[in-house]
């Protein structure tokens, strides 16, 4: 853990240094300079009669179904753009960030690549990302107003505020993190199905959960549980719906010691330790909760759009519902996004921008991705049609409700870096194990997180100089 952190900061420092040097020289080291043309405005290729061969690299990550889907779209892009060849660089989700940072340090940035919206400011300030605005404005095949504004705003930056100004990427997708339930299990138990529009209160959720946690084969051991939620991806819902958050409104103060926050965290831990509606720690080690959900042993589990292709093959019927709501009475969850951007050093900015737009904003590309059941449509009109189409899950509208109504950004993406936020999850285990109360733990943890947040604020200031 320590080693890894050290490595990342060394890389970050190297990036900062090399950028500073490039800035002083005022001369790009890109080979594109040899040719002169093609580095500024979108250039036309009509000069030469022979089709110039243009090689692009595209680096991305994803599950098996997602890989296949993106490979097909890239193939279609090549068919539609004679002369352009796209070399795909695939990595696992775990290795992606490290590999991308290394390629930036080594000045071998792929022409087109995924990036986390949390890195937008650093990548723009260091001159890594191509400004896509002129290409988006010129392309009459795409309509930026037909893409979820929430998604697009993640990749706008005016040098000061994210969400405004020029476009440095387009959303690969927006990822509403919804809540799902095993419909077959409810029907077997004779329990009314969860309401699509009215979330359970926390009490109601525990009541139903207790009824669904049982020993079904009479061997004296529980084999069916209500749930088993990953703290890193599910706690947000409980905290937010209880009217609390990790940060204050200015994103400069860590607020995890707020009583509304610790109440939510305590409730989350109590699901295992007090209400006993989840597998025990030992049971979850034998078979993790994702596997148990897949086998039909859990009543509730989160569902992202990227799960749809896999969940089609589940041995039971599932559907979506609103997350249980705390004291605000309103559901909450996060809405993620991953961006696709282009390198400012690409030899072929026009083609690189075209590929970004093809993958994120074209009707042809989007249709193929949606048909592969790996994401919800980026295009608003297509999404409405999609939600009304029969197919699992039935209540697809819940995904769109998260996008339109109750989804929020992960707190770690709102700041210059996420180290303060990641520390929370590194240190949380004693609360989950019931060894410390949420309130006691938060009192000790807040100053540690605040120190890292202060560092991030300081780094942001420096990067702008
Ligand atoms: Ca049993």
- Span from the CA of 224 to the centroid of ligand 1 (angstroms): 8
Closest CA to 400 of 131, 192, 124, 174: 174
**HEC string of 1-52?**
CHHHHHHHHHHHHHHHHHHHHHHHHCCCCCHHHHCCCCCCCCCCCCCCCCCC
pLDDT of residue 46: 52
Q: Is 178-335+409-463 CATH 3.40.190.10? A: yes
- Span from the CA of 216 to the centroid of ligand 1 (angstroms): 5
Closest CA to 225 of 291, 178, 179, 310: 291
- Span from the CA of 214 to the centroid of ligand 1 (angstroms): 7
- Span from the CA of 303 to the centroid of ligand 1 (angstroms): 26
Rounded distance, CA 186 to CA 164, Å? 46
- Span from the CA of 195 to the centroid of ligand 1 (angstroms): 29
Look at residue 203 and give its three-state secondary structure: helix
- Span from the CA of 182 to the centroid of ligand 1 (angstroms): 18
Note the pLDDT tens digit of each residue in 211-248.
999 999 999 999 999 999 999 999 999 999 999 999 99
Is the separation of the CB atoms in 383 and 376 below 8 Å? yes
Per-residue pLDDT of the chain (465 residues; tens, 9 = 90+): 333 333 333 333 333 333 333 333 333 333 333 333 333 444 444 555 577 899 999 999 988 888 999 999 999 999 999 999 999 999 888 899 999 999 999 999 999 999 999 899 999 999 999 999 999 999 999 999 999 999 999 999 999 889 999 999 999 999 999 999 999 999 999 999 999 999 999 999 999 999 999 999 999 999 999 999 999 999 999 999 999 999 999 999 999 999 999 999 999 999 999 999 999 989 999 999 999 999 999 999 999 998 998 999 999 999 999 999 999 999 999 999 999 999 999 999 999 999 999 999 999 999 999 999 889 999 999 999 999 999 899 999 999 999 999 999 999 988 988 999 999 999 999 999 999 999 999 999 999 999 999 999 999 899 876
Same fold yes or no, 17-21+54-176+336-404 and 178-335+409-463: yes
Look at residue 433 and give its three-state secondary structure: coil
Is the separation of the CB atoms in 226 and 210 below 8 Å? yes
- Span from the CA of 280 to the centroid of ligand 1 (angstroms): 14
Domain range annotation of the chain: 17-21+54-176+336-404, 178-335+409-463
- Span from the CA of 187 to the centroid of ligand 1 (angstroms): 19
- Span from the CA of 101 to the centroid of ligand 1 (angstroms): 48
- Span from the CA of 188 to the centroid of ligand 1 (angstroms): 16
- Considering the domain delimited by 17-21+54-176+336-404, tell me its CATH architecture: 3-Layer(aba) Sandwich (3.40)
- Span from the CA of 220 to the centroid of ligand 1 (angstroms): 6
- Span from the CA of 295 to the centroid of ligand 1 (angstroms): 14
């Amino acid at each position: 853990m320590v080693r890894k952190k050290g490595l990342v900061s060394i890389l970050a420092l190297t990036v900062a240094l090399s950028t500073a040097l490039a800035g002083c020289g005022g001369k790009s080291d890109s080979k594109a300079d040899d040719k002169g043309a093609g580095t500024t405005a979108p250039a036309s290729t009509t000069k030469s009669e022979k089709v110039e061969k243009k090689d692009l690299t595209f680096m991305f990550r994803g599950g098996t179904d997602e890989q296949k889907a993106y490979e097909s779209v890239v193939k279609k892009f090549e068919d539609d753009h004679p002369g352009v060849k796209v070399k795909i660089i695939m990595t696992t989700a775990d290795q992606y960030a490290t590999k991308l940072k290394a390629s930036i340090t080594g000045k071998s940035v792929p022409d087109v690549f995924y990036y986390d919206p949390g890195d937008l400011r650093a990548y723009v300030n260091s001159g890594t990302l191509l400004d896509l605005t002129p290409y988006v404005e010129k392309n009459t095949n795409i309509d930026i107003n037909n893409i979820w504004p929430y998604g697009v705003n993640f990749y706008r930056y005016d040098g000061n505020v994210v969400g405004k100004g020029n476009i440095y990427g387009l959303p690969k997708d927006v990822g509403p993190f919804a809540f799902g339930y095993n419909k077959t299990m409810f029907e077997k138990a004779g329990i009314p199905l969860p309401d699509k529009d009215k979330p359970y209160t926390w009490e109601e959720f525990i009541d139903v959960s207790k009824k669904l946690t049982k020993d079904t084969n009479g061997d004296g051991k529980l084999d069916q549980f209500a749930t088993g939620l990953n703290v890193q991806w599910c706690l947000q819902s409980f905290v937010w719906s209880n009217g609390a958050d990790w940060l204050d409104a200015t994103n400069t103060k860590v607020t995890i010691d707020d009583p509304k926050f610790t109440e939510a965290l305590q409730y989350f831990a109590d699901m295992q330790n007090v209400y006993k509606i989840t597998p025990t720690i030992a049971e979850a080690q034998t078979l993790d909760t994702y596997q148990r959900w897949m086998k039909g042993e859990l009543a509730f589990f989160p569902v992202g759009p990227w799960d749809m292709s896999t969940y089609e093959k589940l041995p039971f019927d599932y559907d979506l519902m609103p997350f249980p709501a705390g004291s605000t009475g309103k559901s909450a969850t996060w809405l993620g996004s991953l961006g696709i951007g282009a390198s400012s050093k690409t030899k072929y900015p026009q083609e690189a921008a075209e590929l970004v737009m093809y993958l994120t904003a074209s009707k042809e590309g989007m249709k193929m991705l949606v048909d592969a059941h790996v994401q919800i449509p980026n295009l608003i009109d297509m999404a409405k049609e999609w939600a009304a189409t029969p197919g699992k899950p039935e209540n697809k509208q819940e995904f769109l409700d998260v996008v339109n109504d109750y989804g929020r950004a992960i707190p770690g993406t709102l700041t210059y870096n996420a180290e303060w936020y990641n520390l929370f999850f590194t240190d949380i285990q004693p609360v989950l194990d019931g060894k410390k109360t949420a309130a006691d733990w938060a009192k000790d943890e807040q100053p540690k997180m605040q120190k890292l947040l202060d560092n991030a604020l300081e780094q942001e200031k420096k990067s702008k100089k």
